[in-house]
Amino acid sequence: MVNPVHLRTLLEVIRHGSFAGAATSLGYTASAVSQQMSALEKDTGTTLFARSARSAAPTEAAVVMSRHAAKVLTDIDALLASSARADGGTAEELRLGIFPSLATFALPRLLGTQQWRKLGINLKVYVAEPAQTIQGLRTGGELDLAFVYQVRRYARKTPPGPMPVQRSRKGAFVVNPVHLRTLLEVIRHGSFAGAATSLGYTASAVSQQMSALEKDTGTTLFARSARSAAPTEAAVVMSRHAAKVLTDIDALLASSARADGGTAEELRLGIFPSLATFALPRLLGTQQWRKLGINLKVYVAEPAQTIQGLRTGGELDLAFVYQVGQAGLAWPSSVSRQWIGDDNFRVILPASWGIRPGSTVSADQLADMPWILHHPGTADATVIERLFASCNLHPRVIAYCDDFNASLEMTAAGLGAALVPELAMLNRPDGVVALDVPEIRLARSIFALQTGDRHNIRVRLFMDQLAEILKGQRIAPKHTA
């Protein structure tokens, strides 16, 4: 995951034109700046600098990334300010020391901007010469940030400009995007345990991440008790900003990858029919998806087929599969699995049978009705047969069908009742009613599968976009990481 500290350093390198210039501005060594840029290249899979023995020239990808980085960092600033206000009830204060000529030039131009007002920061200003403002930065001093100047000769055509001096402040630009993603999951699921299941962590790891986020931002995000951790208003506010920060980071990664490689990235996706029918039209038509510049190559098939494409040397980067019950589906040990959510089955009947939509009926009332069921012998059919037998339901089968769209159409035509998942129901035809049968509770679990060597930016960008599409549906969870 991209480190915002490294993005800020990249901006300084682009601005100053060298690692040494950025180091002077930030108070690092040139070696530390170089190490941060190498880490950023590794994290993003992008070549940012053309290095030689004496220099490191930024690539086009670095310039593109720096433009997006400025937006990401502004969003993080807004996140910190907004969550601090929600936590404490008042705007955060920044105590600034600044020398007269810079104050005269910069402050009127800054304070009148809409971008500044959005941050909601109360600025307390001390206008004074450098010797005085530096005193305010000493231990226990009165300033958080000071701009000073130093008179010196310079050989360049452009003077070095003022040097900001910053006292260490808790939560200053050290927010970990991984922790923001975890926060979104906690808010959505309402518990650490739910977020842990979604992300593949332990509940303890989620709790530790949230504690680290509270420490980094100086904000109380959860009201903890012995058995629960309820999100505070500040956590809810932060989660709204977090979604924007993560979307901007996704755009940064995609844009810099395109600039680095010169062509759009390809993602080879395996997906089962009902999820493809629902999600892909909604995803591919969005402006947000088009901005990512990813070429999607889609393989629509049932889980057993798509899993084959993930094996060593296979044709897929990512596959979405489902599983009914605990048997019938296996994948190689090299494949990592992430639970996306549960797709609940619904009992449906022809509307012509005269039963009101949403009616609650018992399994006994369905005993004499004709049914459309899965072909016998499959793992799904076996699970359904056992479920029906457990509630003493022995259906009279009128048709065998594994295609849910066909089952819906036959039901609408009055042929029989059927058991159909929610995803397939989203495009149901007229003439179909769904019932509540308390004895028949069944869901298929949806998983995202990917091989370890292909756990890359393209996969995560698609997962994030799909999560947005699934929001508001009955599939849970509604977001991925």
In order, the DSSP letters of 60-83 are HHHHHHHHHHHHHHHHHHHHHHHH
Q: Do the domain assignments include residue 26?
A: no
SS3 at position 448: strand
pLDDT score of 309 more than 90: no
pLDDT score of 166 more than 70: no
Residue 55 to residues 21, 34, 44, 105, 160: CA-CA distances in angstroms?
12, 11, 22, 34, 19
CB of 94 closer than 8 Å to CB of 123: yes
Of 145, 1, 175, the closest CA to residue 74 belongs to: 175
pLDDT score of 330 more than 60: yes
pLDDT score of 44 more than 90: no
More confident residue, 255 or 158: 255
Residue 64 to residues 59, 375, 424: CA-CA distances in angstroms?
9, 54, 41
Q: How far is 98 from 134, CA to CA, in rounded Å?
A: 10
pLDDT score of 420 more than 90: yes
Q: State residue 433's pLDDT score.
A: 93
Q: How far is 305 from 326, CA to CA, in rounded Å?
A: 18
Q: Do the domain assignments include residue 464?
A: no
SS3 at position 304: helix
pLDDT score of 476 more than 50: no
* Average of per-residue pLDDT across 393-404: 88
Average pLDDT, the chain: 81
pLDDT score of 261 more than 70: no
Q: State residue 402's pLDDT score.
A: 86
Q: What percent of the chain has pLDDT over 90?
A: 14
Q: Do the domain assignments include residue 375?
A: yes
CB of 336 closer than 8 Å to CB of 319: no
DSSP state of 360: B
The total of other beta-carbon atoms located within 10 Å of residue 444's CB is 22
Please, which residues have CB within 8 angstroms of residue 90's CB and are 6 or more apart in sequence? 122
More confident residue, 141 or 318: 318
Q: Do the domain assignments include residue 89?
A: no
What is the band of 454 on the pLDDT scale with cuts at 50, 70, 90? very low
For the segment 232-250, what is each residue's pLDDT rounded down to a tens digit?
988 888 888 888 888 788 7
Q: Do the domain assignments include residue 319?
A: no
Roughly what angle, to the nearest 10 degrees, separates helices 60-88 and 233-261?
Answer: 180
Q: How far is 469 from 445, CA to CA, in rounded Å?
A: 18
What is the distance between the terminal CA atoms of the chain, rounded to a whole angstrom? Answer: 11
What is the band of 313 on the pLDDT scale with cuts at 50, 70, 90? low
For the segment 331-352, what is each residue's pLDDT rounded down to a tens digit?
777 788 888 888 899 999 999 9
Tokens of 34: 């170089």
Max CA separation in the chain (angstroms): 97
Q: Do the domain assignments include residue 195?
A: no
Q: State residue 327's pLDDT score.
A: 65
pTM over 0.75: no
SS3 at position 172: coil
CB of 266 closer than 8 Å to CB of 318: no
* Average of per-residue pLDDT across 181-210: 86
Please, which residues have CB within 8 angstroms of residue 269's CB and are 6 or more apart in sequence? 296, 297, 298, 299, 316, 317, 318, 319, 320, 462
SS3 at position 447: strand
Q: How far is CA 99 from the centre of its chain?
A: 42
Measured at the CA of 245, the angle between CA 244 and CA 251, to 5 degrees, comes to 90
The CATH number for 379's domain is 3.40.190.10
* Average of per-residue pLDDT across 211-225: 87
* Average of per-residue pLDDT across 98-125: 81
* Average of per-residue pLDDT across 159-182: 60
Place of tokens 């009926």: 361
Residue 397 pairs with which residues in a beta bridge? 371
pLDDT score of 474 more than 60: no
pLDDT score of 251 more than 80: no
Strand order in the sheet with 145-148: 121-127, 92-98, 145-148, 163-166
* Average of per-residue pLDDT across 267-279: 89
Q: Do the domain assignments include residue 4?
A: no
Q: How far is CA 16 from the centre of its chain?
A: 32
Task: Say how many domains are in the chain.
Answer: 1
What is the band of 38 on the pLDDT scale with cuts at 50, 70, 90? very high
Q: How far is 55 from 36, CA to CA, in rounded Å?
A: 16
Q: Which of 88-97, 152-161, 262-271 has the lowest mean pLDDT?
A: 152-161
Measured at the CA of 174, the angle between CA 160 and CA 289, to 5 degrees, comes to 95
Tokens of 257: 């990858």
Q: Which of 99-113, 159-173, 237-251, 464-478 has the lowest mean pLDDT?
A: 159-173
Q: Do the domain assignments include residue 376?
A: yes
pLDDT score of 383 more than 60: yes
pLDDT score of 284 more than 50: yes
**Which domain range does residue 381 map to?**
341-443
pLDDT score of 475 more than 60: no
Place of tokens 């591919």: 284
* Average of per-residue pLDDT across 370-397: 88
